[in-house]
Amino acid sequence: MIDTQTAFDRYESLRDALPSATFPATSLTGRNLSDTAEHYDAYILDAFGVLNRGETAIEGAVARMTDLRAAGKQLIVLTNAASYTRVEILAKYHRLGFDFTADEVVSSRDVAFANLPRLADGQVWAAISAKGDDFSDAPASATLQDLIAHPDLLNTAGGFLFLSTARWNDADTDTLAKALQDNPRPLAVANPDLVAPREDGLTTEPGMIAHDLIAQTDTNAAFYGKPYGNAFDTALARLDGIPRHRIAMVGDTLHTDVLGGAAAGIGTILITDHGLFKGFNVAPYIQKSGIQPDWIVSTT
């Protein structure tokens, strides 16, 4: 687990590696997304901290999605949760009570698989993944094998694909760093988040480990997902015809959701009560970072 201040400070230390954007001078405020409805025709929704916290739906979030649909709003989920296949992540949302369709969900895993560099013939990607992760949705041009189950891949893999930290620890980071120093290879990161909000706190995510590896090895990593443009381009393609100023990114973080949305030229809404800033006054963090959302609302 990691605390909010440590996560924020780490995000700030990485600003040069994140997209740049311009922000409003001040934020409008509201209780929930219904207060923003007259300003937007479509919402791009983060999952963790907006729809769910870990494996639990946020109170009122399911009903809010129903209300937004009834008001004619279009909805897209844009998540950095990279361990789930499309079928699995849709099943999770349905289990939590949401009615999203496959066309309404974009994951950083999808974005990574669509953009993975080609390796030399016969080489495989060593996948850093959750136990039992299914790679059947990987592109035909990319063969993935589980790095934890096959540690020899440290030496033989053509590249490394970071999907999850569920089975990862500091010793693993040191081991991978040495492997990259001895034999530099591509590092693809399908979850750029540093932390994720779960029922009992914030967990360390692949983005945190990847930046540690970059610092130790000078590896050039490719990031897929928020706050990077590849994720927003994919999501916005599902909302063709809606002006960008009528689309809002809804999230719980400044450096991924708000920064990424602003860099993509869309509106931004920060949810404060369920994610990174749960229990904190967000104003000092906005002031220090300069990342000002268009709206600040308490809950979804």
Band of the pLDDT at 178, cuts 50, 70, 90? very high
Domain boundary among 223, 256, 272: 223
**Structure confidence by residue, pLDDT tens digits, 218-263:** 898 999 999 999 999 999 999 999 999 999 999 999 999 999 999 9
**Structure confidence by residue, pLDDT tens digits, 123-133:** 999 999 999 89
Q: Report whether pLDDT(82) > 90.
A: yes
Structural domain count of the chain:
2
Can you give the pLDDT at residue 292?
98
Give the contacts of 141 (CB within 8 A, at least 6 positions apart). Answer: 116, 118
How far from the centroid of its chain's Cα atoms is residue 246's Cα? 22
Domain containing 130: what range?
A: 117-223
Greatest alpha-carbon pair distance for the chain in Å reads 57
Band of the pLDDT at 197, cuts 50, 70, 90? confident
Q: Report whether pLDDT(4) > 80.
A: yes
Q: Are residues 167 and 21 in the same domain?
A: no
Q: Are residues 233 and 163 in the same domain?
A: no
Q: Are residues 8 and 93 in the same domain?
A: yes
Can you give the pLDDT at residue 200?
82
Side-chain-side CA neighbours of residue 286 (13 Å): 21
Side-chain-side CA neighbours of residue 64 (13 Å): 21
Average pLDDT in the chain: 96
Point out which residues pair with 63 in neighbouring strands: none
Band of the pLDDT at 21, cuts 50, 70, 90? very high
Q: What is the pTM of this model?
A: 0.95
Domain boundary among 223, 251, 267: 223
Can you give the pLDDT at residue 54?
85
Is the peptide bond between 139 and the residue preceding it cis, with omega within 30 degrees of 0? no
Q: Are residues 202 and 145 in the same domain?
A: yes
Question: CATH number, domain at 132?
Answer: 3.40.50.1000
Other CB atoms within a 10 A radius of the CB of residue 208 amount to: 22
Q: Are residues 96 and 235 in the same domain?
A: yes
